[in-house]
């Protein structure tokens, strides 16, 4: 029996990288997955042939679309047990380079999106008698030198860190757990868009910074963290921060 047997999970940013790795892993572990992304055609393509996956369009900054996703999840599968707030985007603008427009866009995509996800999903979990929420934060919320100059991104992810702890404390009475995963240097679609398509190549840039070879992680490393926090194996864990960074933050 899978580690997520009889669980229903909503995963954002599911069309690629860490989100897609989570969709594959969660279904393998017995979950029914509502896979969401704004890139809907890509999402359908990469999940084609997968069982127990419902693909839905989701702009994570849209309250209306969030509410529809939750309603559709309940209609299709009867409940929502798990939310993986995986979607996020980094724009590399320093504090003095950033514009107000860019700041607002980054905060909306990385922080407001999580706020909307919590607001829409928590009532459904209260109906169930509990659930697990996992928010993807970033090492940029912990280490000032880890944001690659992306001031608004670091600030937004710091907000997700605080919001996660707030929700963990305030909804523990409902048996709703809220935890966070903090990726370090991970080979993702963002890295690939910058021409880095191999984990070894990404690792070379972090040799001497990250202690653990090959000095960079892969999407499955993060998906495994999501899985632990989503599953009943972590039933007495809430408000915690799982850092997956090869020892970067320890150094």
Alpha carbons 114 and 21: distance in angstroms, whole number:
20
d(CA 221, CA 73): 26
Q: Where are the beta strands (DSSP E) in 120-245?
A: 131-136, 176-183, 186-187, 217-218, 241-244
Catalytic site includes residue 226: no
Nearest to residue 249, comparing CAs of 126, 142, 151?
Answer: 142
Return the C-alpha torsion angle 189, 59, 110, 217, nearest 10.
Answer: -20
Q: For residues 51 and 75, is the Cβ–Cβ distance under 8 A?
A: no
Question: Distance between CA atoms of 242 and 4, rounded to whole angstroms?
Answer: 19
Closest CA to 31 of 16, 47, 51: 51
Cα–Cα–Cα angle for 158, 179, 25, rounded to 5 degrees: 115
| Cis peptide, bond prior to residue 214, ω within 30 of zero | yes
Contact 203, 215 (CB under 8 A): yes
Contact 202, 221 (CB under 8 A): no
The radius of gyration of the chain's CA atoms, rounded to the nearest angstrom, is 17
Which of 153, 182, 226, 228 is an active site residue? Answer: 153
Active site residues: 153
């Amino acid at each position: 029996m899978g580690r997520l047997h009889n669980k229903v999970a909503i995963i954002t940013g599911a069309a690629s990288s860490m989100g897609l790795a989570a969709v594959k892993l969660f279904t393998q572990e017995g979950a029914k997955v509502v896979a969401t992304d704004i890139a809907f055609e890509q999402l359908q393509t990469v999940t084609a042939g997968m069982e127990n996956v419902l693909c839905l369009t989701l702009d994570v900054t849209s309250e209306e679309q969030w509410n529809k996703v939750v309603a559709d999840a309940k209609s299709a599968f009867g409940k929502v047990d798990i939310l993986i707030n995986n979607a996020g985007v980094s724009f590399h603008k320093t504090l003095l380079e950033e514009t107000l427009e860019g700041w607002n866009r980054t905060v909306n995509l990385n922080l407001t999106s999580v706020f909307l996800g919590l607001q829409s999903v928590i009532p459904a979990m209260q109906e169930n008698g509990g659930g697990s929420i996992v928010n993807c934060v970033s090492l940029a919320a912990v280490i000032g030198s880890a944001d690659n100059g992306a001031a608004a991104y670091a600030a937004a992810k710091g907000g997700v860190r605080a919001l996660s702890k707030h929700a963990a404390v305030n909804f523990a009475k409902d048996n709703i757990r809220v935890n966070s995963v903090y990726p370090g240097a991970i080979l993702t679609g963002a890295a690939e868009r910058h021409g880095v398509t191999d984990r070894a190549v990404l690792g070379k840039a972090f040799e001497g910074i990250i202690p653990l070879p090959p000095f960079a992680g892969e999407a499955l490393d993060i998906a495994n963290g999501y899985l632990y926090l989503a599953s009943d194996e972590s039933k007495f864990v809430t408000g915690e921060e799982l850092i997956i960074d090869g020892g970067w933050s320890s150094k």
